[in-house]
Structure 1
Amino acid sequence: MAIWRKWSRPKTESKYPARLTMHQLWMVSLSAPVSRDKDASRTTLYPFTRIDDAKAERWLAEQWEITTPEQLIGRLGRLARFGYRAQFQRVLGFAPLAWDVGLYVDISRRGFACGMLTEVDTWRLLKDIVPAVAGTYGSWNEYADHYLQGRQVWRNNLRGTRDENFPAPQSASDEHLKALLDPANRTSPWNLAPWEAISNPDRPRPGR
């Protein structure tokens, strides 16, 4: 029954048919490392391939204790200003901005999905972090490397806590990033929106 309900939900494109521009896809793609779920959408602002607003709301409440728009904006503000990277810098010797940005974009998209953010406000929030990201990294490879190293520190910090077994093995994240970076992967958003796209004038993407 649960499987039937899942596949009976409308596809995301039926509710949001407009294709993202190159700049929009680039911004959405900043969260591509975060979700490895099969139902994750990496080419729409909405985070899932099928409409499931309740799933986004549950995830924000359970994983981040976010239940109101005010809490959402507060969390995004902290991730944008300092996040985890200041703490991780003491371990890594550098601040892994990509880790905080991946979480920032993922939370923003889920906030949009459950109605805590409007579409206009979500795009504004994503645009706000572009200068820092584009000024820090020169490729998706560099972005992926900092994300993975940030994730490793995060996992290590969970040792000895009740959440120790919560995250997937680092190898799962490694394989996911490897697939995203594979130039032969025609579905990877990082190939559909190359890193340099954000520095060029925005343009519509080719049709399906």
Structure 2
Amino acid sequence: MAIWNPIRNLRKPRTARKYPVPLTMHQLWMVSLSAPVHRDRDASRTTLYPFTRIDDEKARRWLADQWEITSREALAGRLDGLTRGGYRARARMRLGVEPLAWDAGLYVDISRRGFACGMLSEAEAWTALKNIVPAVVRTYGSWKEYAEHYLLGRMVWLEGLQGTRDTDFPAPQEVSDAHLQALLDPMNTASPWNMAPWEAISHPDHAR
């Protein structure tokens, strides 16, 4: 994980200045599917662009290093794989359940970073996010249910790292647990899950 450098980061333009129009309720809801994935302090929770400051190269490096995505074709292949099965088959064998939330969170996170580095246009990124919504809505009835399945998927993923060179890469489970609890905390006004309640996606879209 990259070391946070506040001085270097302040030299970059703010995302809100480049993308000043607030997301609609549906757009924020879709972006919020990736809220559990990106815990860094520079994560943007309320824009399609994944960082609080413009850093296209960071998005490009992350996709290459973490997913071996270096082209539009590779990006499309990864997204298709997460849509079709992702980590769900492994989880079904291990736990008897298919935690779609884990794959959906990764899918949205990758799409946003693909947009950030220019592999997807803004319209293409929104189309990608819309494609995952029906399956997520059919599967879950609340952000709490979504969070629980996200943690199940993460557990299976962590088990798959045992014995590999990436064993020590992820943050400890308690860090992920605390992050999700903060997202679910009804008193947390900064949580996108409170800004865009689960049921909002089932009602007509509107400005916030």
Counterpart CA distance in 2 for 1:92 and 1:24 is 32
Equivalent residue of 2:64, what SS? helix
Scaled by the length of structure 2, the TM-score of the pair is: 0.97
Q: Partner of 1:19 in structure 2?
A: 22
Matched, 1:54 2:57: yes
User: Can you give the 5+ residue segments of structure 1 that lack an aligned partner in the other structure?
Assistant: none
Counterpart CA distance in 2 for 1:180 and 1:129 is 21
Counterpart CA distance in 2 for 1:86 and 1:62 is 24
Letter in 2 for 1:188: S
CA contact (8 A) 2:90 2:156 kept: no
Counterpart CA distance in 1 for 2:24 and 2:197 is 12
- Between 1:157-166 and 1:14-23, the stretch displaced more is 157-166
Scaled by the length of structure 1, the TM-score of the pair is: 0.97
Q: Partner of 1:168 in structure 2?
A: 171
Counterpart CA distance in 2 for 1:94 and 1:49 is 35
Counterpart CA distance in 2 for 1:3 and 1:90 is 43
Matched, 1:148 2:128: no
Per-residue CA deviation, residues 108-130 of structure 1 (Å, 9 max, x unaligned), is: 00000000000000000100111
Q: Any runs of at least 4 consecutive aligned residues in structure 1 with deviations exceeding 4 A, and if so which?
A: none
Q: Partner of 2:124 in structure 1?
A: 121
> What do you get for the CA RMSD once the two structures are aligned?
0.7
Equivalent residue of 1:178, what SS? helix
Match among 139, 145, 161 for residue 142 of structure 2: 139
Counterpart CA distance in 1 for 2:155 and 2:40 is 19
Counterpart CA distance in 2 for 1:115 and 1:13 is 18
User: Can you give the 5+ residue segments of structure 2 that lack an aligned partner in the other structure?
Assistant: none
